Structure 1
């Protein structure tokens, strides 16, 4: 498996991984599948400041991706990020998510980020297992926060430290 920085050319493969999650599950709270152009725009926007990584299988095809986004807008939150991981259905359970997260956490720590947060629509045992396996701890639940497929859904929140700085410098921008 190879892990590299995503490029706009990965948008089609990323969309193919994400589309069934939006269309068929409550794992994502998006109600409409974003198109390839929208996904390309998201990748480009993220890479202006933060990492977006893809994993490639032995055939060179994208089999998973991770990225980080700002946790909140206020200045005191600048050392915290929200992270997201998705793995192609036929590649789940093979360590793709763990490897992607491992590299993402290294990059985020190098950039100066101190805390990572992950929101998981519940129930989702596979995602909870992945996040806890890579060092996240459950910190709380937003009850009945998302409405999809005719029902309310909870979102659990997990937190993972990236580095400990008593007086951190502002995080640096990601440069691929």
Structure 2
């Protein structure tokens, strides 16, 4: 019998699993616009560079990382300091099991406690599962950017989703 999913802050030992989830999306999907796998070194830098309002969380079940959630600055200019771009990425085996919602619930609670004003998420289209997750977590779609990415030999639209936290 499996244990419940545990959401917790990522530690260095989680980074190979996080990289595996992310790099699979790089190679096969459009949830990220990276074109080359980033590997563990990228995630080591992300973990080391976390500042106030930034988070890297993992969902774990029976010692296995099922996915992760991240919050990072939306843009580098100071007036954006109360906004965070958020994302959730899951291993294929974790999809449709409520893991994404568990990650977002924890992440959004942390952002509220940090005093973050708004959370923004970018969804590559089409992606009905991601759209449903964001809607379920209280996000609202606020606009579509047409053909802003080119990956896997096709143009990709993105949709911006926003959640007011305060």
TM-score by shorter chain over 0.5: yes
Give the paired residue count: 161
The CA deviation at 1:67 is 0.8
Task: Select which of 127, 141, 144 maps to 2:144.
Answer: 141
**Is 1:31 equivalent to 2:46 in the alignment?**
no
2:124 aligned partner: 121
The CA deviation at 1:72 is 1.7
Task: Select which of 13, 20, 31 maps to 1:16.
Answer: 20
Task: Select which of 77, 86, 100 maps to 1:74.
Answer: 77
The CA deviation at 1:44 is 2.1
Partners of 1:84 and 1:17 lie apart in 2 by 13
- Secondary structure of 1:32's match? coil
Partners of 2:9 and 2:141 lie apart in 1 by 28
**Contact 2:20–2:39, Cα closer than 8 Å, also in 1:** no
Deviations 1:148-169, CA, capped at 9 Å, x for gaps = 1222111100000111xxxxxx
1:42 aligned partner: 46
Partners of 1:3 and 1:101 lie apart in 2 by 10
Task: Select which of 104, 107, 116 maps to 2:107.
Answer: 104
Give the alignment's Cα RMSD to 1 decimal: 1.1
Partners of 1:20 and 1:74 lie apart in 2 by 31
Partners of 1:76 and 1:149 lie apart in 2 by 35
TM-score (norm 1): 0.88
Where in structure 1 are there 5+ consecutive unaligned residues? Answer: 164-176
